[in-house]
Amino acid sequence: MLNNDVLRSLRYILNVNEFEMVEIVKMGGGQVTQAEINTYIKKEDEPGFVPCKQNVLAHFLNGMIYLKRGRDTSRPPLTTDLPTNNVVLKKLRVAFELKDTDIMDILKEGGFDVSKSELSALFRKEGHQNYKECGDQYLRQVLKGLTARVRGVVTKPKV
């Protein structure tokens, strides 16, 4: 999934503007300008679209966790791993305090029936024998379901 798509979805879920997005990136330890954010949240077919840099999304995800959960100075700083779909999913789970059952329910509502063991494979460390790569459709559905839960948006179930 494109970093820009994730960034746009998170902007909508959090209901923040470009200025607040800059602050969230700063909270996560990164630097970005409001003009850069404007180019990242454009759609691919719009003039001025620029692909979102990996480190910007990584810092935004960390900033989102600090925004939602607060910064715990007794813990080491969050890692800025390259944001694969699995990393995005993990950080969403932390930021929005989602349990496995919450994610399973979100996926089930979208027509993806996953077992607990399948879901736990998405959260394993890459290289683990039971690690499974998170597909774009899984991540899209989690973002869509999270939007419905956080913003109260009613979505049509897949048939």
User: What is the full DSSP assignment across the chain?
Assistant: --HHHHHHHHHHHHT--HHHHHHHHHHTT----HHHHHHHSS-TTSTT--PPPHHHHHHHHHHHHHHHH---TTSPPPP-----HHHHHHHHHHHTT--HHHHHHHHHHTT----HHHHHHHTSPTTSTT--PPPHHHHHHHHHHHHHHHH----PPP-
pLDDT tens digit sequence for 37-71: 999 999 999 999 999 999 999 999 999 999 998 88
Does 52 share its domain with 89? no
Q: What is the pLDDT of residue 156?
A: 53
Does 11 share its domain with 47? yes
pLDDT tens digit sequence for 67-107: 998 888 778 777 777 889 999 999 999 999 999 999 999 88
Domain boundary (13, 46, 72) is at 72
Q: Is residue 33 part of a domain?
A: yes
Does 51 share its domain with 19? yes
Q: Is residue 79 part of a domain?
A: no
If one counts the domains in the chain, the total is: 2
> Can you give the residue range of the structural domain that contains 98?
84-153
